[in-house]
Amino acid sequence: MESNVSRNQRIKYELSTEQFASLNQVKAQSVRARLCRTGSYFGVVPLKLLSGRTAWPDLQVAK
C-alpha cells in the first residue's frame, strides 16, 4: 500500500475551485460548501496551498 504523499505526487493538482466546478458542471459555491461540510467533494480532497487557496485535480466526479 502506498502513502498519500506518493499518491499526491503523481496526481497533478492544478485547478482552482472555479475550474474544478466548471469541469464538474456545478457552481463553485457548491464545491466550497460541500468541502466545508464534509471535508471533500464526493471523495475528492483538494490540496491546501500556503496562500490559503485550494488546488483540485483535473478529474470529473461520478456522483
Supply the pTM of this predicted model.
0.81
Show me where the domains of the chain are located.
4-51
pLDDT in tens, 2-61: 556 555 568 899 999 999 999 999 999 999 999 999 999 999 999 999 999 999 999 999
Look at residue 6 in the predicted model and tell me its pLDDT: 57
Task: Give the helix/strand (H/E) hosting 57.
Answer: strand 54-57
Of residues 33 and 63, more confidence is placed in: 33
pLDDT of res. 1 = 47
**pLDDT of 63:** 74
Write down the residue that cell numbers 469541469 correspond to.
23
